[in-house]
A and B are shown apart, each in its own frame.
Chain A
Amino acid sequence: MASHPLLRHLAGEDGIRRWAFYVPVAFMVLFFAVPVALTLVWSVFERTIFWMEPGFTLDAYVNFFTSARAENYLFSMIHSAVAVVVAFTIGFPVAVFVRRRVPTAAQHRVILLFIIPFMISELVRVFALRPVLGRNGLLNSLLMKIGITSEPITVILFSNLAVVIGDVVSFLPFMVFAGFLAMEAIERYVFEVCDDLGSNTLRTFKDVIVPLAAPGIFAGSVFIFVNSIGVALVPTILGGPGAVNAGLMVNQAIVALDFPLAMAISAIMMLTLLVLLFIGHRLFDLTKILQPIN
């Protein structure tokens, strides 16, 4: 079966190892590579009333870039970036705190607490934000009670703000997990050296922790960005007019039976992410940072 030397090397010689290689490969090809390829192919198919037919046309792309979709897509990227920044600001210090201040034996247990929200359906979690952010919601009641505003602020729910909050709430654990794993890889000595040299908390954070945890922060950020831009659920429940993300746009295109458009948006999302990954890789020089010290 495996005649090429590289394949032989990857798959190994004996039975079980070969299956452990080929079964996942078959799975990935069938359910990952083929749909990705089909997405690209279908995005240039001709649209018909209920489906599409083979052909080559860039109509779907033209449609995307000449409608409000391109603008919405751009906003969706910006909002996702904001969600990443907020999640970093809130989530990464949690990871640092747990790693640095919680007794070693309890650290993993504390981090596991952040899994609990994942046990509640995301639909329910996001929906539960409505009574918090709504016109007569918890947040408005609180703001009025302490006198910051006399009338309920109506722009919180069904707006981009609500979508960003929803994204942060939904995907914050990614930053905590990835940040914690990155912090775990940093040697304890490094912090003692900082203490010895007289580096204060902020300096240590800026000069040492963030650069050393950059791969983890980057990984967490990518997870959050991908989900913020792609999960249609959050803007469906919390967004309003104009507060959409790429995932919701795809959804809407499918509902409108414009399959090539849905595929084109997906293809653009993939390209966006590839570019971002490439930039991130160049920016953080991940391979160099990950190089073992010894």
Chain B
Amino acid sequence: MTSPNETAVEVVDLAKDYGPITALDSVSFSIPRGSYHVLLGPSGGGKTTLLRLIGGFVRPTRGRVLLHGQDVSDAPPNKRPTSMVFQSYALFPHMSVERNVGYGLKLQKMAKEQIREAVDQMLGLVGLEGYNRRMPHELSGGQQQRVQLARSLVLESDILLLDEPLASLDAKLRKDMCIELKRIQEKIGITFIHVTHNQEEAMTIADRIAIIADGRLVEEGSPREVYERPVRRFTADFIGENNIIDGRVTGRNGDRFSIDTGFAEVDVVAVGHDIPTGTEVAISVRSELLQLLRESRAADGRVQTLPATYVEEVYLGLTTLHLVRLPNEIEITVRQISGDMAGSVFQPGQAVQVGWKTAEARLHTE
């Protein structure tokens, strides 16, 4: 664990029940100061509840929230070093951009002249200089979210909480705003905690991603780690386009485990794992790492293959999907850059082999 002055947020055994429903179930983790941290997960998984617990909008059933080492579990939102950007366009509809952004400072009894200066500076930062007199209904969705961002940033809180801030924007705008959020965060250097269910958004923006599902912290890591080396089966299933094949451990040779899939045997490398023979496991391989072969290669240990039946091809422009069916009726997706495999070399129903480099598959025990 990092020392308190390097940790922005630490939650300890945090839980929230809504009557009989458990929204968050004993989550413990910490967020380093100055990082862009994304809470990623499916809807209803508890990530927004976690954010709202950090912000003080919800009181925990159990556990503690520490911000910069201070226990704030019972403090109201405005007594915490946090500021929130809400999902929908939560501007005061009856106030101009200027008054919206300056309202928090006005409550702090800052002098009018200073407020105006701070507001102008913040509007500049979010790219809305000159919009002072506009009303919220005169702004686009993206602009409204920028105003919200400015309203939060102008308070100079140490931690900015963003609850699905881009959810209501269209795909193109979301991408632009993602890059800009990251730029702003790097410029001012405070901690951003950003909740989203959008994987691409998370990958674009995050220093670290925490995957939250079913009220639990599933896994945490850099975007590259969770994408390339997911530990849990859930993460593999949720992030990227992974093919998951269930099996059972039948033997072990160092870090190399033999897995019986029920119709073939493959080897998977799992460093530092101690998995007894007979354990139910899952193998995951990303679709872009799979190859389609006409016939089985001589097994040299570096490549694994499974027999399959070709189903169909789906052309998507940049990439082409090849769907194949394993003998256990599970469908597997193979994704290739279009043109890499001269179109339609396989016919539906044709027997093929799906292959991957041994090192590229991961083993999941949970």
A199/B107 contact (C-beta < 8 A), A192-B90, A292-B137, A293-B136 known: yes
How far, in Å, is A291 (CB) from chain B's closest CB?
5
- Whole-angstrom distance between the alpha carbons of A140 and B76 in the complex? 46
Q: A117 at interface (Cβ–Cβ under 8 A)?
A: no
Contact A197 B137 (CB under 8 A): no
A198/B104 contact (C-beta < 8 A), A292-B137, A293-B137, A294-B141 known: yes
* Among B78, B79, B84, B91, contact of A293 (Cβ-Cβ < 8 Å): B91
- Whole-angstrom distance between the alpha carbons of A166 and B152 in the complex? 48
Kindly list chain A residues whose C-beta atoms are within 8 Å of the C-beta of B88.
Answer: 187, 189
Within 8 A of B (CB), among A157-201: 187, 189-190, 192-193, 195-199
Kindly supply a per-residue 1/0 record for chain B positions 66-88, scoring 1 wherever the CB is within 8 Å of any chain A CB and 0 otherwise.
00000000001111001110111
Kindly list chain B residues whose C-beta atoms are within 8 Å of the C-beta of A207.
Answer: 103
- Whole-angstrom distance between the alpha carbons of A85 and B268 in the complex? 78
* Among A189, A208, A212, contact of B86 (Cβ-Cβ < 8 Å): A189
Residue of B nearest to A189 (CB): B90
Kindly list chain A residues whose C-beta atoms are within 8 Å of the C-beta of B103.
Answer: 197, 199, 207
Q: A203 at interface (Cβ–Cβ under 8 A)?
A: yes
Q: A211 at interface (Cβ–Cβ under 8 A)?
A: yes
* Among B82, B90, B94, B137, contact of A193 (Cβ-Cβ < 8 Å): B90
Q: A289 at interface (Cβ–Cβ under 8 A)?
A: yes
Contact A195 B90 (CB under 8 A): no
Q: B315 at interface (Cβ–Cβ under 8 A)?
A: no
Contact B93 A193 (CB under 8 A): no
Contact B78 A197 (CB under 8 A): yes
Contact B86 A193 (CB under 8 A): yes
Contact B107 A196 (CB under 8 A): no
Q: B89 at interface (Cβ–Cβ under 8 A)?
A: yes
- Whole-angstrom distance between the alpha carbons of A229 and B72 in the complex? 55
Contact A211 B94 (CB under 8 A): yes
Q: B155 at interface (Cβ–Cβ under 8 A)?
A: yes
A212/B94 contact (C-beta < 8 A), A192-B57, A294-B137 known: yes
- Whole-angstrom distance between the alpha carbons of A86 and B79 in the complex? 36
A195/B57 contact (C-beta < 8 A), A293-B89, A294-B141 known: yes
Kindly list chain A residues whose C-beta atoms are within 8 Å of the C-beta of B328.
Answer: none
How far, in Å, is B8 (CB) from chain A's closest CB?
17
